[in-house]
A and B are shown apart, each in its own frame.
Chain A
Amino acid sequence: MRELVKELKSGELLPSEHLEEVIEKIEEREPRLNAFISLDVEGARERAKELDKLVRSGRASGLLFGLVLAVKDNIAVEGMRLTCASRMLENYVSPFSATAVERLVREGAIVIGKTNMDEFACGSSGETSYFGPTRNPWDEERVPGGSSSGSAVAVAAGMSDLSLGSDTGGSIRNPASFTGVFGFKPTYNLVSRYGLVDLAMSLDVIGPFSPDADGIALSMEVMAGPDGRDAGVQRSLSFLETFDAFDPEGVRVGWGEGFLEGVEEPVRRHFERFLNVLDSIGAELVELRVPPMEKVWPLYYLIMYPEFASAMQRYNGLTYGLRGEGSNLYEVIADARGKGFGREVKRRIILGTYLSMERYEKSFHERGVKLRRGLRAEVKKLFEEVDFLTSPTVPFLPFRLGERLDDPVKMYAADALTVLANLTGIPAINVPFGREGRLPVGMQLMGRWFEDDRLVAMARFLEGRG
């Protein structure tokens, strides 16, 4: 990615020339793929022209100079719609930009549009959007994964250089795996969430998609660090420095049978190959007793549902968004929410409301938070023995559109291997690793808290090895 930026700065390839190539790709593929909810082609062209001028006058600067960026539609970009793929916010325009977007734009990125997603990020297939499903660019009859479906597809199909997604239980890594790109979930509280619409606040992170590991390091270099508008973010990291200096020789990588429960055959086979490649680049493989993922992911729901129900309180049509009708306050709210939300969103709100009620001895959410502490301690122990943990990213290959939509249990199984990183807060990355037929396969690497820079650097050595 940095090579491309160099070209764009030097004038070898003008930002607007590059943008036109990308727009051509969008015109060609977007009608089928449905990766975008809003496109701002004209705005992007204007911005590219300004960047052209800077090149001509020799003042081109910025780490992401001229790169085309797509942004998931639950991340705010000033003056653009912020729909969260929901009817509730169909016409809502954000008056401010997310910190992450602001920082990327300041470094020269051009925002091309807002990408499709599962409604309010509730889904693992990209199918629950009010604006229709996104399709997998490698097989248009199959899902691209989710919830950051459009952002993954935009990068996979060359409709943007980089994109932003959000990850609460795997929403970046899952579609990255299904579409064959790098997708990175940073340590919780490394990137400001200011401007990210909440799903579950203690799990959510903003992270990048890129066709290469370099693009991940580059965008993270810019996005990481405190901004004063998200009370939780207090640390920063130097991604590029680590990226250029890292040596995988002797690095210890752990894995365990607990990570492979429920993993389907073709994926399991690729995982074994992945372990061999790790071995071949000098990593030391360590088999560990890891917490069985099928026991871990129910915990995810104890935490996610109540936080989601809490986050969704503000969408009641009283201040903004879809307006309800009725003869009293509660009718007006119920009407707006009834019309504004899709089935999966409603399912989660109802479950989350019950799980957080005080009428139970102790709220389920409270119990979930306690169990999570135990899980963190367990993972911390594992990281005393190894530098990284690895598993497949998703237990199975991209499935057909509509196949799992009515079966939440099957749908939720897609998150089985990714939720561990969200529950514990550790960084994790999807490394595209080979194909099964046309369909991409992805492997996951997880690292220690705030060792995101090393994790991304490690992923680089596995790039193109599938």
Chain B
Amino acid sequence: MRIGFEIHVQLKTESKLFCPCPTNYWEAEPNSNVCPVCLGLPGSKPHPVNEESIRKALMVALSLGMEVKPKILFLRKHYFYPDLPSGYQRTSTPLAVNGRLGKVRIREIHVEEDPGRYDLKEGLVDFNRSGVSLIEIVTEPDMTSVEEAETFLKDLHLLLTYLGVILNPSVVFRVDANISLEGGERVEIKNINSIESVKKALRYEILRQKRLLESGRGVKRETRHWDEARGVTVSLRVKETEEDYRYMPDPDIPPVSIDPSLVEELRSSLPELPWERKERFVREYGVDRTVADALVRDKALGEFFEEKAGEISPKFWAEFLTSRLKGELNYRGLDFSAVPSKEGVFLIAKAWHDGRITKEAAVELLRKLLDGEIGDVSAEIEKFSVVENVEDVVREVVEAFPEVVEDYRKGKKAAINRLVGEVMKRTRGRADARRVRELLEKLLS
């Protein structure tokens, strides 16, 4: 099985690729971020290419270790659709070629403009998105399973997040996947809008193709459409009826030269990339590689780790974030950005680390914090802080429950749990349960 992708990413730029209109299409009134250029009105001409788009595209290319082309042309790709106001989409020749992410080779990256948004049911078009800068990242068909495909897309997403080039965090990717099974031809699946959907579409398609191959009907070369609602792929066209886009260099756009000094400047000022940060965390803070990996996979989490790493044992802190906090977040289906008080998280970890509260208290505090039940974290920690007179409480409990003590002494060892529980209750969880048990065992032996 071979899987490859064409991935479209909207680039974070102030203005559109060929006009000065703003790019926040998803939050603006329909058809308010438009001008004659991005509406394709008669007589409009593209303004000079937005430089920020080229810079951002180059950053992606360089971080994938690609070879940058000295010059690009913008081509016209012709087709009719209501969201495409000029009847052609402007798309560049490759800006960079031959890169790699993990085991997947990247064939090329080019820049293009996004069409508008067409609401088929209402028959309405919103052109706010028309002309927004996109990059298309084309991979070689190097993935051999759905899991590998997922890993690749997640790694790519992480990289783009680190580069800060994603325009709209709620969209991120639009993916065309191509997949071929041993003995069948290549099938392209268009219009997949999230990593989860890519997995679904691939699984569906693998099943479909396997059945065809097993029944001896064969898989022919075709383009299919992913129907998200129904969870199936539907044939769009077969090879014989492939559209002819009549690609032609756009005479209105002079060739864009890529300044080698710009490339060098960008190369030397690339932000730290996820895999680089991971290695550094291992090196500088002595955390385990898997823990470091978990830290960098959530950019903000990793950054918060580093912000406080000097005030606490880094290993303890890293474990706290990646197992305790992550666990609680996953349970609630949240990510780090949803934490109400990040400082509070640190205070809890620190209090536990310093022995001022018990592990149980730390966990409880963390839960309360995430559930929005704590206002003043410091005050709450105070309430939970470890009681000094735990021995007194243990003695109290032993006196108060003679029959339980009797049971224990008769050999019913589990009875001690009842006593531990009672101590914990009387100290409102601020005692260390293990130490309480030890004290009890000593007292009753």
Interface residues of A (CB under 8 A from B): 74-76, 82, 84, 89, 92, 94-96, 98, 192-197, 200-202, 228-232, 306-307, 309-310, 312-316, 318-320, 329-330, 333, 353, 356-359, 363, 365, 369
Contact = CB atoms under 8 A, between A and B. Distances in A.
B211 interface: no
A330 B79 CA distance: 11
Interface stretch (B44-52, B290-298, B434-442): B44-52
Given A197-B43, A313-B88, 20 more contacts: A76-B43, A92-B42, A94-B41, A193-B45, A193-B252, A195-B43, A195-B44, A201-B251, A229-B45, A229-B47, A231-B48, A232-B252, A307-B251, A309-B246, A313-B87, A314-B85, A319-B39, A319-B82, A359-B244, A365-B248
A330 B86 CA distance: 16
Contacts of A194: 43-45
A200 B40 CA distance: 16
Q: Is the interface of A mostly helix, strand, loop or mixed?
A: loop
B81 A314 contact: no
B433 interface: no
A212 to B, nearest CB: 29
B43 A231 contact: no
A357 B49 contact: no
Nearest to B250: A201
A333 B245 CA distance: 17
Given A231-B49, A330-B80, A310 B246 contact: yes
Nearest to B87: A313
A314 B246 contact: no
B141 to A, nearest CB: 23
Contacts of A76: 42-43
Contacts of B247: 358
Nearest to A84: B42
Interface in B213-259: 244-254
A309 B248 CA distance: 11
Nearest to B82: A318
Contacts of A192: 45
A329 B80 CA distance: 9
Contact of A357 (B36, B45, B246): B246
Nearest to B79: A313
Contact of B252 (A195, A197, A201, A329): A201
Given A95-B36, A310-B88, A228 B47 contact: yes
Q: Which of A307, A314, A333 has the most CB of B within 10 A?
A: A314
Interface of B: 36, 39-49, 76, 78, 80-82, 85-88, 125, 244-254
Contacts of B85: 314, 319
The 10 closest A-B pairs by CB, nearest first: A313-B87, A201-B251, A202-B251, A76-B43, A356-B246, A231-B48, A195-B43, A314-B86, A197-B42, A314-B87
B48 A316 contact: no
Given A231-B49, A316-B80, A82 B87 contact: no
Contacts of A363: 246, 248
A310 B253 CA distance: 14
Contacts of A358: 244-247
12 contacts: A76-B42, A89-B42, A92-B42, A193-B45, A196-B43, A230-B45, A231-B46, A306-B248, A310-B78, A314-B42, A314-B87, A329-B81
Contacts of B248: 306-307, 310, 356, 363, 365
A231 B40 contact: no
Contacts of A89: 42
Nearest to B88: A313
B72 to A, nearest CB: 13
Contacts of A92: 42
A193 B254 CA distance: 14
Contacts of A365: 248
Nearest to B246: A356
B48 A357 contact: no
Contact of B45 (A231, A306, A313): A231
Contacts of B86: 313-314
A307 B86 CA distance: 13
A82 B252 contact: no
Given A229-B45, A232-B254, A363-B246, A310 B76 contact: yes
Contacts of B246: 306, 309-310, 353, 356-358, 363
A445 B39 CA distance: 39
Contact of A333 (B41, B80, B88): B80
A359 B47 CA distance: 31
A342 B24 CA distance: 41
B36 A96 contact: yes
Contacts of B39: 319
A230 B87 CA distance: 20
A96 B49 CA distance: 21
B45 to A, nearest CB: 5
